[in-house]
Structure 1
Amino acid sequence: MTNLLTFDLAKIRLGEIKDLQGVNLNGCNLSGGNLARVNFSSSSLMGVNLTGANLQGAILRCNLRGADLTGADLRGADLRGADLRGAILLSAQVQDISLAGAFLGGAILTNLDLSNADLRGTDLRGTNLVGACLQNTDLSNTNLSGADLSGADMEEANLMGAVLHGTNLSGANLLCASIEPNALDYCLKEGICFEGIY
């Protein structure tokens, strides 16, 4: 793995460089960078500052643990299987994003618009999704244990096979959402908060 750890790459424009596979960028400052359509497969971007970065169409199937993606443009990005545990995605643009099989435990996704997103098989344990828009989102076989979905809009979301142990759903909109009867029964028995659900 190539190590670029000591470089400050803030606001750089990578131009024609589109292949950064297997690169170690841990702790680098890439804020505001134009990283559209760059391939970061198998790279390590732990704790990287990507605030306001243009990552449209980028391939980010890599380690992004603790990365700050506040205000980043991730439209059309491929994050399938990415490790985003503890990452911050406040005000990020995530339309047409692919997160299937990603690890998002402990990530901050407050008020994020993930409508129509593919989150199948994603690990969302302990994730903050307060007020998130998850309309028509595929959350099948997703682990939502201990996640905070209070006030989330999950209208028509697919929750089939989702793990809901200790999930906070107070004030969430589950109108026309698909959920297994056994999961719903478990939630009620465990006292998972459904206050104000409509």
Structure 2
Amino acid sequence: MNHDLAAIRQGRGGDLAHLDLSGANLEGAKLAEADLSQTTLKGVNLTGADLRGANLRGSLRGADLTGADLQGADCRNADLRATLWREANVTQISLAGAFLAGASLAKLDLSEVDLRGADLRGADLSGSILAHGDLSNANLSGADLSGASLEEANLSGAILRGANLYGANLLCARVEGVQWEGAQLERTCLEGTPLALLQQALP
């Protein structure tokens, strides 16, 4: 790797689009508003990085985003499989169509976040806040949503096959067309859900 990582960390790396920065240590990097579209960031350490408003529509598979600030970042259709998001700031982030299979999003505040059509198969969303979020047509097969807050979230058309919703709160959530087969719904709050839809969900 010949890229000047010190310059990149200080926000002086120039146009980073289309670069391969796989495995780089970009801890604490100043990348606000950076164009990282199509940049390969597989396995990159971005802990504590400033990624506010950044274009992250490339590949970040396996990246560590612990404590990163991603407010307003554009992650639409990005490859975010097996990423770690512990204590990251994701206010106003766009994750529509993102590939988040196996990602660790536990206890994250994802309220009002756009996750339309996202691939969240096997993702850890336990204890996360997804209230008022848009998860329509998202694939949550096998995802861990235990204890998650999904009040008034839009789950219409979502796939929840085999998902763990133990103790989750789906108060007044939209669940039209949800595929519930094999989902764990013990102690799940489904108040405000139409009876006909509940009959589809419950065995």
The AA in structure 2 aligned to 1:192 is: A
**Structure 1 residue corresponding to 2:115, chosen from 90, 104, 119:** 119
**Structure 1 residue corresponding to 2:10, chosen from 1, 13, 26:** 13
Q: Which residue of 1 aligns with 2:131?
A: 135
The alignment status of 1:39 with 2:39, answered yes or no, reads: no
Give the Cα–Cα distance (whole angstroms) in 1 for the partners of residues 55 and 46 of structure 2.
14
Give the Cα–Cα distance (whole angstroms) in 2 for the partners of residues 4 and 172 of structure 1.
47
Deviation at 1:195, TM superposition (A): 1.4
- Stretches (4+) displaced over 3 A: 7-11
Sort the Cα spacing of 1:13 and 1:150 in 2 relative to 1 into closer, same or farther, 3 A: same
Deviations 1:119-141 (A, max 9, x none): 00000000000000000000000
Q: Which residue of 2 aligns with 1:197?
A: 188
The answer to whether the 8 A contact 2:60-2:81 is kept is yes
Unaligned segments of structure 1, at least 5 residues: none
The alignment status of 1:70 with 2:61, answered yes or no, reads: no
The AA in structure 2 aligned to 1:14 is: G
Q: Which residue of 1 aligns with 2:52?
A: 56
The answer to whether the 8 A contact 1:10-1:30 is kept is no
Give the Cα–Cα distance (whole angstroms) in 2 for the partners of residues 171 and 77 of structure 1.
30
- TM superposition score normalised by structure 2: 0.88
Unaligned segments of structure 2, at least 5 residues: 190-203
The alignment status of 1:24 with 2:33, answered yes or no, reads: no
Deviation at 1:12, TM superposition (A): 2.5
- TM superposition score normalised by structure 1: 0.91
Q: Which residue of 1 aligns with 2:151?
A: 155
- The two structures, once aligned, show a CA RMSD in angstroms of 1.7
The answer to whether the 8 A contact 1:55-1:75 is kept is yes
Deviation at 1:13, TM superposition (A): 0.7
The alignment status of 1:166 with 2:162, answered yes or no, reads: yes
The AA in structure 2 aligned to 1:158 is: N
Deviation at 1:51, TM superposition (A): 0.2
Give the Cα–Cα distance (whole angstroms) in 1 for the partners of residues 6 and 14 of structure 2.
15
